[in-house]
Amino acid sequence: MKKYNYFLITCISILFSITTASAQDKVAKIALTFETVDSLHVCKAFVTSEGQPVVELPVKLSVKRLFTKLPIGDAIATDSTGVATFEFPNDIPSKDGKLTIFASIVEDENYMDTEVSGEVKWGQIVVSDNSNVDERSFSAGRDRAPIYFIAISLLIIGLIWGTLLYAVLQVFKIKRLGKLEEIKE
């Protein structure tokens, strides 16, 4: 009998954990809105579940970046009307000003993980400056050497090879003179 007790207790525990786990099956929907109030960027996440606003639910805000999402501040819980209000900083860099902002519910005991995103032009425009590769320098490519350097190098090379060419021409001059002398004799 004792054996069966243990078996029963295990079965009931498993069933219990399954039910509590599936209690997470509550689906929450987030509606993300963006407002600008007195030059302050404000994000509002309105969380509903089965038509009813959800209160005291932590919502995380993040912004999409190249490799990952950058979290903005800490998680803020929804207030009595089911809205979590975030202040969004205005110094997040973006190539064209557009930012993709995510509001997400993560690892909450009662609700499934959800995420919703929206695009808004709140980014601080940052233009990538290619001057470090475009400018002429010693580190740059072959076609971007400093002009003074190219000029001086070509000058030196030109002078030296010019002199060598002159010497070779003089040898041919000797040959010509020799031929003349031969004809004379």
Partner 1 sequence: MSENINKHETFTQAEYMVMKDDLLRPIEKVGKAGKIWIAFLVAVLLAGVVAYIIQETKSKYVTTSLRDYTMWGIYISNFLFMVAIGLVGVLMSAILKLTNFEWYRPLSRIAEVIAIGAIMFGGISIVVAMGRPDRLLNLLLHGRIQSPIIWDVIGITTDLTACIILLFIPLIPSLVTCKNHLKNLPKWQLKMYNMLSFGWQGTPEQWQILKKTMKTLTALVIPLGVLICTITAWLFATTLRAEWDSTNFGAYFVSNAFLLSVAVMTFATFVFRKAYNLEKYLTEMHFDKLGQAMVLMALIHGYFNINEYLIPAYKMSGLHENTLLNLFVGKEAGFYWSVVIFGIIVPFLLPLFPKMRKPLPLFIISIVVLIAGWFRLYLIVIPGLLHPYLPIQDVPASWTHYFPSAVEMTVVAATFAGVLLVVTLFSRYFPIISVWEVAEGELEGKEEIFNYK
Partner 2 sequence: MEKENNNSSRRNFLKLGALGGIALAGTAIASAVTDESTKATGKKVKVLTADGKLVEIDSSLVDHHAANDDYSKEEIRQGIEGKKFIRVIDLGKCANERKCITGCQKAHNILAPVEYIKVKKMQNSPLESPYWFPTMCYHCDNPPCTKVCPVDATFKRSDGIVAMDYDRCIGCKFCIAACPYSARTFNFGRPEQVKFSEEHKNDTSDPNHCSTPYAQEGTVAKCDFCTDRSAQGLLPACVVECPNGAIYHGDELEDVVTNGEDTVRLKKLLADRAGYRQFEELGTKPRVYYLPPVKRDFPFEDATEAQNTKE
Is position 148 an interface residue for partner 2 (rule: CB under 8 A)? no
Minimum distance of partner 2 from residue 131's CB (angstroms): 9
CA–CA distance, 84 with 75 (Å, rounded to integer)? 9
**Dihedral, 154, 158, 161, 162 alpha carbons, nearest 10:** 180
φ, ψ of residue 145 in degrees (nearest 5)? -75, 155
Task: Draw the binding track, 126-145, toward partner 1 (x: CB under 8 A; -: no contact).
Answer: ------------xxxxx--x
Which does residue 125 bind out of partner 2, partner 1, none, counting CB within 5 to 8 angstroms by kind?
none
| Cβ-based nearer residue to partner 1, 3 or 184 | 184
Burial grade of 130 (CB within 10 A; 0-12, 13-18, 19 or more): exposed
> Diameter of the chain by CA atoms?
140
Per CB under 8 A, which region of 6-14, 34-42, 79-87, 141-149 contacts partner 2?
141-149
Least distance in Å: CB of 66 to partner 2?
A: 5
- Which CB atom, from 127 or from 183, has the smaller least distance to partner 1? 183
Task: Give residue for tokens 């219990």.
Answer: 16
